[in-house]
Amino acid sequence: MGLFNKIFGGNDSTAQPSQPSKINLSKEESVHKINLAKEEVHKVCLTKSPLNGLVSRVGLVLDYSGSMSSLYRDGTVQGVIEKILPLAMEFDDNGTMEVWIFESGFHRLPDITLDNFYGYVKNEIIGKYQMGGTNYAPVMQDVFKRYIQEEPAKIPDYIVFITDGDNADHGKTNEIIKKAAEHPIFWQFVGVGNESFNYLKKLDDMKNRYVDNADFFSVSKASAIEYQDLLNEYPGWLADPKVKAMLQ
């Protein structure tokens, strides 16, 4: 079984048949699942006072490197979108989630809402873009460009950045993380799989930043992502006096 199929539970020729009912839900089932997840997010927020009643933009950045192909096609990445969308529904005043895919470069995709989330991967991604390598900095620079330069607002920006492995541009990524630390953008990196993620671990503890603007955790497969982990360090960042000053 290939690495990505091991990680996400997809199929290959040696694997057992999949159970599409667990991944490929009807629209009604997906909406119901998202509504339940929103209730779960709300309960988590009630335990973390900076998140209670928070208005925040939510962005999702998804790895689009070549070996992810089967995961985009089997419904796994669609499931990730449906996992993160309830955060936008909880925090964003209009329930909109900005989304990017990245490989060596990046693509800024149409915003996701409850109106267009169903079939989003099939409708907006598959067959439209070419997969490639793994660079973090170009997409991170575009996230910064959109939120800070194009659409500035006195509200925090929360970015969920999902990747399966290391990048080829450590130096440039360090630069954009340090630059973004002076602005109200928080980066929640999620490593998926059994890689060591040494770079992301170092980035999580990076010194000489204006504020600590990033968190990292890893899971063995995408379905193991939990809201408690996604919202572990974000409240502390929001409570930092330097961040509060950025939002005044």
State how far the Cα of 247 lies from the Cα of 241, in Å rounded to an integer. Answer: 10
> Tens digits of per-residue pLDDT, 195-209?
899 999 999 999 999
> Tens digits of per-residue pLDDT, 122-155?
999 999 999 999 999 999 999 999 999 999 999 9
pTM value?
0.90
Burial 209-236 (b: 16+ CB within 10 A, else e): bebbbbbbbbbebbeebebeebbebbbe
> Over the chain (248 residues), what is each successive 10-residue block's mean pLDDT?
37 36 75 95 95 97 88 86 96 93 98 96 95 97 98 97 93 98 98 90 96 95 93 98 97
185-192 sheet: strands from edge to edge:
106-112, 97-102, 57-63, 157-163, 185-192, 214-219
Whose tokens are 């990046």? That residue is: 106
Query: Any idea what the CATH number is for the domain that residue 38 is in?
Result: 3.40.50.410
**What does the block give as tokens for 113?**
């809402």
**What does the block give as tokens for 207?**
């010194």
Beta pairing class for 97-102 and 106-112: antiparallel
**What does the block give as tokens for 180?**
């973004």
Residue 140's CB: how many other CB atoms inside 10 A?
26
What residues make up the domain containing 192? 23-246
Percent over 70 (pLDDT), the chain: 90
Burial 33-62 (b: 16+ CB within 10 A, else e): ebeebbeebeebbeebebbeebebbbbbbb
State how far the Cα of 134 lies from the Cα of 41, in Å rounded to an integer. Answer: 30
Amino acid at 98: E
pLDDT value at residue 70: 76
Q: Domain count for the chain, please give it.
A: 1
Decide: 186 and 156 in contact? Cβ < 8 Å. yes
Q: Is residue 7 part of a domain?
A: no
Q: Is residue 8 part of a domain?
A: no
Q: Is residue 71 part of a domain?
A: yes
Decide: 134 and 140 in contact? Cβ < 8 Å. no
> Nearest-CA neighbor of 145 among 174, 169, 179, 112?
179
Whose tokens are 């497969």? That residue is: 221
Q: Is residue 202 part of a domain?
A: yes
- Give 105's Cβ-side CA count (13 Å radius): 5
Q: Is residue 10 part of a domain?
A: no
Q: Is residue 75 part of a domain?
A: yes
Q: Is residue 16 part of a domain?
A: no
The alpha helices in 56-160, defined as continuous H runs, are 69-73, 76-91, 120-124, 137-144
Q: Is residue 1 part of a domain?
A: no
